[in-house]
Each structure stands twice: as structure tokens, then as C-alpha cells.
Structure 1
Amino acid sequence: MGSDPAVDVPAEEMVTGLTTLTGSGQSEEKRVTLQIEPRAVFEGDTLTLSCLVRYGYKPDRIEFYKDNIVLQSQAGKVLRMDHVPKRDEGSYKCRVWWRSIYFLDSAEVWVSVRELFSKPTLTFTLVSPVWEGDAVTLQCAAQIYKQGTQLQYRYSKEGTDLRGSGSHDQHSIPAAGLRDTGKYQCEVEAAGTGLVKKTSDPVSLTVRELFSKPTLIFSPVSPVWEGEAVTLQCAAQIYKQGTQLQYRYSKEGTDLRGSGSQDQHSIPAAGLRDTGRYQCEVEAAGTGLVKKTSDHVSLTVRDGQPKPALSQKPDGEICEGDPVTLSCVVEGGFGGWRYLWYRDRQGAPVYQRDSSSGAGYTISAAALSHSGEYWCRAERERTSLHSQYSDPIRVNVTALFSRVTLTATPGVTVKEGEPLNLTCEAAVNKPTHPQLHYSIMRDGEPVTNSTDSALYSIASTEKSHTGSYKCAVESQGVRKSSQELHIEVQNLPSERLEKCKGAFG
């Protein structure tokens, strides 16, 4: 805003020697001056701006500008800026107003704000990724530009401050763990001010597993019985070649004897007192820094001998040719057993099989000879422990066919030229009737073979049809034959034979 010719300024309010203001707010002779102390400042310093009028009437308002943007409008001629940051660098001026009508601008003055120290850089003494147990140091480097400046350092991971902030430009991780994986930053500030702070870019640290969390297993599998030898196996996978492991075993939090380089711990003869919860701990040999513990695993020691349970499927009576399976399981269903089957109290087992969860003795096609009483018994793998005998099961195998008969119609003696029908019949004992296969034989040679018909018909017999006939029925691999039936075809008298021949043309 400039001067207004229409405004009459009283003589007593005129500024002595003030020349006429121009429209730009500038006079031919500069009467307003901006003084800045100091002209070159460091971050965090105090900057003082003084707007001076060479002579004249006291102004009613003074405005201070930075890069032509109003900073502050006030009555006083001094503006104090404490703790200036780098962003306060720029071009400054002041403007003096009288009655909000007349103003004069100072010349623009450039203010340089120098960095107190540089933006810090964070580095690791070991190149990421590192192994568990490695000692890692974080180095925070910042260049100081103002002599005598003391710096304070603070370190953080994923935005959370770490312990050990202070005057040291290093932060140590004595033994890196998987939890130390993440993004790190360091923040630097000028000591005693708490105002000038600068933060490094994030830097990632990856920590690799030296070995896996161990797994503890028992051999044989729990439960075990008194007197059995039990082995605790502590398994951990090594990821860094050359790593040596040390093992320690505990029961209910109390260390067991025999800790060392062995991944096994033995209980030669388990007793009831050995029942409890066990763990194993693994650490990298020679460091004592990287340790990992297995989950708790329970061991139960029982007294006496286990007794297996024996079952049959299908239940009840079975027929010849049917499959039948006997299942033997030690009570509780725990593994590590070998199963043996006995029949009719024979000295040696009729069958034996190793299994982790029980075992079955299968007869794919039962025969009458399979009828009898069966028992099972189990013995623990790699030990001398035997179970009791199971209760017996009686297997009853019924004949599939109670009888097979062959009948001749009209009879076993026929005349030449007469018809003959042979019928094969079987009495099946199985409720669900199986498919039957019929065959009829004469003198041992088959004359018919069918699954559809049990009938053999001869429309006109001849002398050659004389012979011994037998029929057989087969199903489910079971075959049963009838008794032999002798068929005789007799010769007709010559006169009757001629008549028969004439009758048949």
C-alpha cells in the first residue's frame, strides 16, 4: 500500500524530513533498515531481527517477512527467533506502517542457517544377515559442523527406544537373537538443547537361527511299564555348519544326570517314580548364549503287564470263503508293539506283525479248518517286555454249501431217442445268497459250465450219452461236488427203432 494524495496529514504528525511515499512503499532515500544479528547462524541459535527507522514519527505497526510471507505483525521493532532450524534460512525484510495507511519497506536481507551436524548414518559392524549369538554393534555416525558441539544418541527398533541412549555413538547387542530381527534407527541431538534432532534412515537387521527348537520324544512311546528301558531322544536341526550342541535333560524342572554332547538320555529300568514331565535344553557349545528348550513331554510308567484287546470283524459266525480279520490292540492304543497270534494254545504263534497302533490278522477266505479259538499277545519292540494274553475269541466257520445234488429226469435209465434233463442243486447256508457257478461233467469231462443255469438237457438221447455224471457248485473260492450219478441209455428193439426213425423222418 502507498501514499494517498487525498489524505491531509497534520503538520504535528508529520515525520520530520520524510519524503513523499511512493506507490510501492519505497522512498527515494532508504529510511527503514532491517538489522539481523548474527547474519550467519547455526541450527539452534537465536536470531534477532531489528527494524530501524532513521528518523520521524513513531510507527504504529511493524511487520516482518520471510520470502515475502508475513511472519509476525507487532508494535515493537525487534523480533527474536529462538532455536532456528535449517528451514528458517531465506530472505527477510520488515515493513513500517503509520496509521495503517503509509508504509515503508526495508531492503531484503539473506539469512543463512548452517547445519549444526549432519543427518546421521546407521551401520552394523556385521553385514546382515547374522547368526544367533553373534555380537552386533550399531554405529551411528554424524559430522559436526560447529566446533564444541556435543551430541547425544538414541537408538530404536521398529519405533521403540532401546536402552543405553547417551553420549556414545555405538549401541551393542552382545548376543543377537531372533527377536532382534527388525528395522533400526538412530537419532542425534545437540546436548543441552533438546531442540536440534536428526534421525537416520531405517536399516534392517536379519538374525538367522543357529539351530531349531528341539523336540523331545520317548522310545518306546509312553505309557511304559515298570522295568522297561526308556530312551529320551532330543532332536534339533543345525542350520550353521560346524555348530556343536550341548544337551541338558530335566524332569519337573530338576536337571538329570548325564548332560553333555549326547542327544540321548537313558532310563535303564523305568519305575513309577519316573512318571512326570520332561524337557531337554540345547545350547551352542562354547558360547552359553544361544539356548533353546523343548516343549514338555509326559512319561507315564505303569505297573504290571498290559493286556491287549482282541476283536473280530465281521462279528459272529462266518461262512466258507468269507474274509475275517482279528484285531489286537494294547489298551490305550499306544504304539511300539509287535503283535503275535496264537490258535488253540499252540506253542508258536500262527502269525506276527509289527505295528504302531495295533495290528490285524486277516484270513482272506475262511475255510472250515480255520475254526477254532484265537489269542493275541504283544511284545515291546527292542525290549523284553511281553503283554498278557488277550481273552480268546472263537472263530466258527460254517460250510457255504450243506449239500450239492444232481437229479435226472425221467430217471437214470432211458431209451435211445428219449429226452433227458439233469438238474444241479445246492443248499446255501449264507443269508446273503452269493452268485453260484454250476458245472456238470460226464466221465470227468465238462458238458456244461454256466453261472445262469443249473440244467443240462438232452432232447434225444443216444447210446454215447451213457456215463457217470457229477455236478459241482462254486462260489467265493469254495467248490463242492455232488455224488456221481450213472446214466444208462438202452438200445431200442430193431422194429421200434425203425418206427422211431420213421417218426423223426
Structure 2
Amino acid sequence: MNMFVYFLELFSYPQIKVSFDPVSGDHMTITCDTKLSPHRETTELQFAFYRNGHNVQGFSLSNQYGVPSAQLEDSGNYTCEVQTPTGSVRKRSNLAHIHIQEFFYTQIKVSPDQVTEGDHMTITCDTELRPHRETTELQFAFYRNGHNVQGFSLSNQYGVPSAQLEDSGNYTCEVQTPTGSVRKRSSMAHIHIQELFSYPQIKVRPDQVTEGDHMTITCDTELRPHRETTELQFAFYRNGHNVQGFSLSNQYGVPSAQLEDSGNYTCEVQTPTGSVRKRSNMAHIHIQGAAVRPVVSFFPNWTPIFPGESVTLSCNVAPTAQGNLGYSWYRDGHPIPGDQQNLVIQPTIWSDIRSYSGDYQCQAGASERSDPVTLDIKSGE
């Protein structure tokens, strides 16, 4: 006689179920659903959960795996496994793909598109919430080169009233829910602040200024294209002290330069509101003493001179003349040897008389020649 033996399932193959289509930040519950056979309902079962083949919750009596605040990285292929306490019966569910949807998208934007020094710059953290989540309150923070420049607040904008070159950098923004359960950072945006005008340079005319010259100091700068009509103001300083306050003139004039006008000069340029201000490098300007006409004197102060005697001619210059001037001597309009302030004449014999007698002049540096002084040498006969 044939006997047919029929084995009943202790419990059905489990199925993965998720409470709803999860969005980042939601509390997500994954259930491992199975059914015990009639009359075996009291059998104890144990449940385990896996994501992408990796265990995320070991065997326990709970048939649920909860994620308090689901994140995008919680997306994946989930399975669950059910077993009896002894492990004599074990079954695994089919694979279920769970996709955590983004709560919001974020992007950094800057206005105006091209920012120039002094502009009011507005950086916006532009965010788009998912449908049916538009009323969710969000908080925003801003960073430059990784450093926080505006902490979390309800404003999605960071404003710089008067942008400066140092405001250039790599900007990001961060968005979070009030509890911080969902937090996202934007991609990096490089913002370059353009110069409104170049750093000024001090220029002086003439190149070499001498006492009495009309000296003109110019504060030279260049506005960037399309900003040429911007009004600028200029100020001038000598040795750190203001010598001409801010005005529309980029020149400082000294009608008759004096030695005390020498010094270290700088100039400063600004917009009328002072929102952009730049100072030049220092330029040292040296006023040279005027090369006035020298006067020739001689010692001993008598004439004539006889052979065997000596006389010293001196080229005397004004006290204001400065530096190593260099001297030149002339007799009867012709250059003669000698580049020192003093010239010694010492005829020895009567034949030297003709070569030493005459009208002497000197010149100090670039000065005019002195008035002639006559030196008379007698033969002694």
C-alpha cells in the first residue's frame, strides 16, 4: 500500500514592505511580513535585515527595521530573513529596492553675475522642496574657503554691502531642517571680485626736481572697462602727513619746490562714498639744491704774484648746494686741469708767467660759470 506524506509550511516566505515612499529625513519602517501555519501561531520567529547583502539588523523578535531619519545613503536593495530560534527553519525574502527621495535640492547663485569692488553682492542658496513638502521650514548657512561667514538662519541669502578683493573665494551653502535631521551642502562656486581701479602709482615731473622748480606729483590709476565714468577722489601724503585732501584732481602741484618738500610721498584713491579705497606704494622724492653761480676768491688776497709765490683760488658755492658737486676750472674761457674746490697756482720761473696769468672762472656741478677773476703774475724784473 502506497503512503503519501505531505509537509506543511511552518511559515510563508517573507516579504519586504516599506511604510511609504520615503523622503530623506523621514522615519522609515521596513517590515518583514510572514504568516505562520494554522495551529502554529504561537511559534516564536526571529527576523534579520540586510541592505545590499550587508546585515543592518541582526536576528531579533522584531519583524521591523526602523531608520529614524532616512538619508540618501540608506537607499539600496533590502532583504529580510526569518528563522526559528534553533535555526532549523530559515527563509529569506525576495529583494526589494528602496529609493530614498531627496527632500530638497540646493544650488549657490551670485548676483550680479560679475562682481566689481564696491558692488553690493548677494549670494543666494537656491533650494527646491519636493511636492507636498513646500511648507517645510529650512535653515541656511554660508561658507567661504571652508570658513563660516553666516551661521544658520531662515534667510537663504548672504549679502556683502560693498564687495572687496578679499571677498573673492570658493563659496558653498548648507541647508538643514530645524532639527538637523536632513543637511545638505551645495556644490562649490568660485566668485572672483574684479578690481574697480588698479592700485595707484606715484609719478613726479620733472624726473629730477631742483629748488625753485614747479613740481607736479600725479596719482596714476586705471578704471576697469565699462566703469570709466566712475568718479574717483585723490589725496596726497608726505611722510604720512596729508598735504592735499580728497578732491577730484589726481595731481598735487608745488609751484616752487624747496628742500623741505623732499620726503616719502604716497597717494590714496577712493570712490565718493569711500566704499573702495587704495593707497599707492611709497615714492621718495629728493629736491636738489639749486646750482647758483659760484664766486672765485683767492688767498692771499693781493695781486700781483711773483715767481716763487703761490696763490690758492677757491670756488665758493651757496650753502644750499648739496652733495658732491664736482668742480671745473677755466682760464681765459678754456678748461684747465683741476676738479677740486681749490686750485693752487705756483709759478716758479718767469717763463711760467704767460701760462698762469689770465681771467679765472669756476663751475660747480651744473651751475653757471663764475664771474671771471684776473690773476696778474709779474716777472719780478
- Match of residue 163 from structure 1: 150
Aligned to 1:81: 67
Aligned sequence identity (%):
24
Task: State the match for 1:499 in structure 2.
Answer: none
> Cα offset for 1:142?
1.0
Residue in 2 that maps onto 1:176: 163
Amino acid at match of 2:159: S
Q: C-alpha displacement at 1:340, in angstroms?
A: 12
**Aligned-pair distance for 1:43?**
0.6
Following superposition of structure 1 onto structure 2, how do residues 290-369 of structure 1 map, counting pairs within 5 Å?
290-300=276-286, 343-344=330-331, 346=333
**1:140 equivalent in structure 2:** 125
Aligned pairs for 1:91-490 (under 5 A) are 91-98=77-84, 99-106=86-93, 111-118=98-105, 120-128=106-114, 130-145=115-130, 146-163=133-150, 165-193=152-180, 195-221=181-207, 225=211, 228-240=213-225, 241-271=228-258, 273-284=260-271, 286-300=272-286, 343-344=330-331, 346=333, 376-377=363-364, 386=367
Are 1:39 and 1:112, in contact at CA under 8 Å, matched by a contact in 2? no
Report the Cα offset of residue 269 of structure 1. 4.0
SS state at 1:154 partner: strand
Q: Does the residue aligned with 2:166 lie in a helix, a strand or coil? A: helix
**Can you list the C-alpha shifts for 1:197-217, whole angstroms capped at 9, x where unaligned?**
223333333333222211113
Consecutive unaligned residues in structure 2, runs of 5 or more: 1-5, 295-320, 336-358, 371-381
For residue 301 of structure 1, report the CA deviation from its aligned partner: 5.2
Shift of 1:378: 5.1
Task: Say how many residue pairs are matched.
Answer: 307
In 2, the alpha carbon distance for the partners of 1:388 and 1:76 equals 118
1:147 and 1:104 map into 2 onto residues whose CA distance is 42
Question: In 2 relative to 1, CA 32–237 (structure 1 residues): closer, same or farther, beyond 3 Å?
Answer: closer
Check conservation: 1:178, 1:209, Cα contact below 8 A. Answer: yes
Contact kept? 2:25, 2:71, Cα under 8 Å:
yes
Amino acid at match of 2:70: V
2:44 aligned with 1:62: no
* Alpha-carbon distance between aligned partners in 1 of 2:266 and 2:150, rounded to the nearest angstrom: 33
Question: CA contact under 8 A between 2:110 and 2:123: conserved in structure 1?
Answer: yes
CA RMSD of aligned residues (A): 4.1
Give CA-to-partner distance per residue, 1:417-445, whole Å, 9 cap, x none. Answer: xxxxxxxxxxxxxxxxxxxxxxxxxxxxx
Taking the TM superposition and a 5 Å limit, the aligned residue runs for 1:481-500 are none
Query: What's the TM-score, normalizing by structure 2?
Result: 0.65
The 1-side partners of 2:15 and 2:71 are apart by 24
Deviation (angstroms), 1:104 = 2.4
Secondary structure at the aligned position of 1:209 is classed as coil
Structure 1: distance between partners of 2:368 and 2:220: 30
Q: Structure 2 residue aligned with 1:30, among 4, 7, 12?
A: 12
Q: In structure 2, what is the Cα distance between the partners aligned to 1:182 and 1:210? A: 17
Compared with structure 1, are the counterparts of its residues 250 and 80 closer, same or farther at alpha carbon in structure 2 (3 Å cutoff)?
same
Q: Is the 8 A contact 1:307 1:331 kept in 2?
A: no
Q: Which structure has the greater CA radius of gyration? A: 1
Q: Any conservation in 2 of the 1:149–1:191 contact (CA below 8 Å)? A: no
Distance, in Å, in 2 between the alignment partners of 1:30 and 1:345 is 135
Residues in 2 aligned to 1:307 and 1:85: alpha-carbon distance in whole angstroms: 93
Larger relative contact order (Cα-Cα within 8 Å, sequence gap ≥ 6): 2
Q: Distance in 2 between matches of 1:184 and 1:300?
A: 48
Letter in 1 for 2:92: D
Contact 1:124–1:136 (Cα < 8 Å) also in 2: yes
Residue identity matched to 1:63: A
Q: Which amino acid aligns with 1:162?
A: V
Q: Which amino acid aligns with 2:205?
A: S
Change (3 A) 1:112 1:233: closer
- Is the 1:305–1:388 contact (alpha carbons within 8 Å) kept by the matching residues of 2? no
CA shift at 1:262, angstroms?
A: 1.4
1:143 is paired with a residue of what secondary structure? strand
For residue 230 of structure 1, report the CA deviation from its aligned partner.
3.2
